[in-house]
Structure 1
Amino acid sequence: METLKSKNVSIVLFELEMIPIERIIEGGEELFLKAGIKSVTMDDIAKHLGISKKTIYHFFKDKNDLVIALVKKKLKEDEDQMAGIISKSGNVIEEMINMMTCSEEIVSRINPIVIHDMQKYHPEAWKEFQHFKAEVLVHTMEELLTKGIKQGYIRPDIDVKVMSLMRVHQLELGFNPSVFPIAEFNTWDVQQQFQEHFNYGVCTLKGYKLLDQYKNNKQD
């Protein structure tokens, strides 16, 4: 005769075979993006996925562990996406335009509360984000600007390191609700203003004209 305990074990084992770890991470992401991280519980995620909470705990010891896994996954995806843009773009201005499109896709799905909650309640995940910002984003921006100077599209008089650091920190600033309250500002509009201000500010006249050309073609 099957006991309640053995039945529960059987359910968990079945779910472990049927539910990949990636789906649990995605389920957490779906809820975090809607309500922020702090207000979502492991019970909420289990209910959202229609599985036992024990199944989630088989892969993740707690919510913090899940958040760290999610952040690592998304940062790797973003890094791969940026690498793809760079490899397919013909020049730096095209890279800038394609990066804006990529940024729009990323920013449009991010709830600023998620950034706040991660910084305040999940320091390990926040550390991963800061490392990505310092090592990947700044390095990518430095390479882009240096290449643009050689191509004649970016002003040779700029300090590449300073401009790269400024641009990367602007991304984080745009998500700061104390500076740009959610009720008053659209997050993507803020990021777009930062991006355009930066792009036109670092371009030579040659780059400025090509940037306008790409923008007009995109609008058409």
Structure 2
Amino acid sequence: MAKKEKIGKSTDREKIIEYCTAKFLREGFYLVTVDQIASELRISKKTIYKFFSSKDELVKEVALKMMKEVNNKIETIINSEDDSLTKIIMLFEVMSGVVVKFSEKWLKDLQIHTPGLWKQIDDFRTKRAFTALGSIMRQGQLEGIIIEKPIELIIHIFVNTIRSVVHPDFLYHQKFSYKEAFIHSFEILFNGILTSRGKKIFDKIFPKVIR
């Protein structure tokens, strides 16, 4: 039975989004009804419709909230004073932390039932990844940690590999979880672009992160 929760009047909207974020990521959203959400939160449907005109709008708000949170974390990493490899590991932790929350139902529902929103999410993660990785990779080359190869090519390979591997259609036929696929891809890719010095640092740091 779903956990029941009372909502205070001053935070109705935020708590509805918070509750639905956990529920949608775990169960998907297509089969979830507004009646069900209202019942589990012990509020009226009217309260939900006061803030969200439809379930589709609620799903969109959940996705936008997640993108905003990820973007803020990435900005903090990029603007930190850390070396490039530390930034890369921190970026990995942020991305894997998000991926591990996703269920196959959530991703499949996005693709099938809200293709426009799925495209928006996919565009966001692609463009944001290009920007973040570009900044960090350039720093890494200056530090002698990343090999001297065209930055644009390295980023393109990284982004498209992660997009294709951490994807419902691929993972549906594999034995990997989302997190496992992400970790394996990340490790394989980085072993190909690090200098000897970078690999020594990576081998010391990375095992601690994936435990």
Q: What TM-score do the two structures reach when normalised by structure 1? A: 0.83
Unaligned runs of 5+ in 1: 1-14
**Aligned in 2, Cα 1:18/1:47: closer, same or farther, shift over 3 Å?**
farther
In structure 2, give the amino acid aligned to 1:51. Answer: I
In structure 1, give the amino acid aligned to 2:153. Answer: V
Q: Distance in 1 between matches of 2:29 and 2:210?
A: 36
**Aligned in 2, Cα 1:43/1:183: closer, same or farther, shift over 3 Å?**
farther
CA contact (8 A) 2:17 2:58 kept: yes
Provide the residue aligned with 1:62 in structure 2.
54
Provide the residue aligned with 2:3 in structure 1.
none
Provide the residue aligned with 1:180 in structure 2.
171
If you compute each CA radius of gyration, which structure gives the higher value, 1 or 2?
1
Provide the residue aligned with 2:125 in structure 1.
133
Provide the residue aligned with 1:124 in structure 2.
116
Query: Does 2:159 align with 1:168?
Result: yes
User: Which is worse superposed, 139-148 or 173-182?
Assistant: 173-182
In structure 2, give the amino acid aligned to 1:140. Answer: A
Q: Secondary structure at the match of 1:179?
A: helix
Q: Distance in 1 between matches of 2:69 and 2:209?
A: 25
Q: Distance in 2 between matches of 1:89 and 1:185?
A: 35
2:88 to 83, 96, 99: 96
- Overall identity of the aligned pairs, in %: 24
**Aligned in 2, Cα 1:43/1:175: closer, same or farther, shift over 3 Å?**
farther
In structure 2, give the amino acid aligned to 1:141. Answer: L
Aligned length: 205
**C-alpha deviation, 1:94, in angstroms:** 0.8
**C-alpha deviation, 1:54, in angstroms:** 1.3
Moved over 6 A (4+): none
**C-alpha deviation, 1:87, in angstroms:** 3.1
CA contact (8 A) 1:68 1:124 kept: no
Q: Secondary structure at the match of 1:61?
A: coil
In structure 1, give the amino acid aligned to 2:113. Answer: Y
Q: Distance in 1 between matches of 2:103 and 2:45?
A: 25
Q: Distance in 1 between matches of 2:24 and 2:97?
A: 17
In structure 1, give the amino acid aligned to 2:83. Answer: N
**Aligned in 2, Cα 1:170/1:50: closer, same or farther, shift over 3 Å?**
farther
Q: What TM-score do the two structures reach when normalised by structure 2? A: 0.86
Provide the residue aligned with 2:183 in structure 1.
192
Provide the residue aligned with 1:86 in structure 2.
78
Q: Distance in 1 between matches of 2:78 and 2:204?
A: 19
**C-alpha deviation, 1:19, in angstroms:** 4.0
Unaligned runs of 5+ in 2: 1-6
**C-alpha deviation, 1:103, in angstroms:** 2.5
**Aligned in 2, Cα 1:75/1:219: closer, same or farther, shift over 3 Å?**
closer
